[in-house]
Amino acid sequence: MLDFAPMSTYPARVIANFGASAAIIDDKGSIKRAQPLKKLDLLVAGDKVLCTDESGSGETTTRVTQLQTRSTVLARPDRKRQLKPLAANVTRLLIVISPKPAPEPLLIDQFCIAAASAGIQPVIVLNKVDQIDSSASEVTPGDYTGLLDIYRQAGFPTALCSTKTPAGLDQLSELIRQQTSVLVGQSGVGKSSIVKKLLPDQEVRIGAISAATGIGAHTTTVSFWYQLEGGGALIDSPGVRQFAVDYLQTQQVESGFPEIQHWRDGCRFADCTHSVEPDCAVKSALDSGDISKSRYENFLRLSQAD
């Protein structure tokens, strides 16, 4: 008899990458701690992989042997300007903003660019609308709904939500049905709260991941993939202050500004940068209010960065 069985390979999904090892879930719903082979690219939440279980000296080690081709990848440069993946096989980027912490339009626009250049649909989600409605609030509704209007006019889907009111997430639930969505934004805007609200058994799931992998699941420091009941998935990600896009070409920056792409055909020069050229249709649209000032200024800032 053979004293080893031929290793069989099976497909799995990466729930989270903890550095030295990753948490994966196979087709039968079984969660394991897995070691990726060194030759593989950095694994991220949402990755589809192939795994094997190796038995030796009474223990079973799960290895990730192959990374399946990603349909999309959300990435950003690290401190050494190396592009690092953050989430894979994503169809929607939920850019979450809130009254407190206050929105950073430049960050929103960086996310719009990153999403568009990766082929991911950005959605602007204003959370904590209960803070706006409450009479005790010192913020005026117009500040935020006005900001949302700018993005709606630019052509992006938007949603209002709250994790503290009963109606709360109805609009958002519609937008994420059958999609794989990654929640991004500043720390404290309520990304993890939204996930918890959409997945009532989220704590049970985290508990199951910790029990199966032996890794205390630090949900705020790494991205986490969660299967949605009715199809699709959600990926929670840690908060960020900025999301550099300066490694992208001007054309890719422009793809994050559909309203600029809409008007640019009317510019006199095909390579118009919409800054100093005469007969610029984008600047005319800015003057007539068809393009928002804040979006235009961020476009210039982000397309001219070295």
Ligand X SMILES: Nc1nc2c(ncn2[C@@H]2O[C@H](COP(=O)(O)OP(=O)(O)OP(=O)(O)O)[C@@H](O)[C@H]2O)c(=O)[nH]1
What residues line the site for Zn ion (CB under 5 A)? 267, 272, 274, 280, 282
DSSP string, 7-56: PPEEEEEEEEE-SS-EEEEETTS-EEEEEEPTTSPPP-BT-EEEEEEEEE
CB 192, CB 219: distance < 8 Å: yes
Work out whether 65 is an interface residue with ligand X (CB under 6 A): no
In the list Mg ion, Zn ion, ligand X, none, the entry touching 187 (Cβ below 5 to 8 angstroms by class) is ligand X
How many residues sit in the footprint of ligand X (CB under 6 A)? Answer: 17
Q: Does 191 bind ligand X (CB under 6 A)?
A: yes
Of 49 and 183, the one with the shorter C-beta distance to Mg ion is 183
Instruction: Provide the pairing of β-strand 48-56 with 59-67.
Output: antiparallel
Interface ranges with Mg ion (CB under 5 A): 191-192, 220
Report residue 276: phi and psi, to 5°.
-120, -10
Residue 267 near which of Mg ion, ligand X, Zn ion, none (CB within 5-8 Å, type-dependent): Zn ion
Q: Of the candidates 33, 48, 76, 164, which one interacts with ligand X according to CB under 6 A?
A: 164
Binds ligand X by CB under 6 A, chosen from 154, 189, 248, 280? 189
Per the DSSP assignment, residues forming a β-bridge with 93 are 122, 182
Among 65, 68, 71, 131, binds ligand X (CB under 6 A): 131
Is residue 162 part of the contact set for ligand X (CB under 6 A)? yes
CB 132 within 8 A of CB 141: yes
Q: How far is CA 182 from CA 125, 140, 192, 224, in A?
A: 12, 29, 11, 9
Residue 95 partner contact from Zn ion, ligand X, Mg ion, none using kind-dependent CB cut-offs of 5 to 8 Å: none
Query: Would you count residue 127 as binding ligand X (CB under 6 A)?
Result: yes
Three-class secondary structure of residue 170 per DSSP: helix
Residue 130 binding partner per list ligand X, Mg ion, Zn ion, none, with a CB distance cut-off of 5 to 8 Å that depends on partner kind: ligand X
Site for ligand X in 241-300 (CB under 6 A): none
CA-angle at 25, arms to 20 and 31, nearest 5°: 80
What pairing do the DSSP bridges indicate for beta strands 233-236 and 180-184? parallel
274, interface contact from ligand X, Mg ion, Zn ion, none, CB < 5-8 Å by kind = Zn ion
CA gap 78, 229 in Å, rounded: 34
Nearest-approach distance from CB 213 to ligand X, in angstroms: 20
User: What stretch of H or E contains 79?
Assistant: none
Distances (CA, A) of 53 to 15, 24, 167, 178, 213: 18, 12, 45, 31, 14
Cβ-closest position to ligand X = 239
Segment contacting ligand X by CB under 6 A, of 25-33, 37-45, 101-109, 162-170: 162-170
Of 62 and 202, the one with the shorter C-beta distance to ligand X is 202
- Contacting positions for ligand X (CB under 6 A): 127-128, 130-131, 162-164, 187-193, 220, 238-239
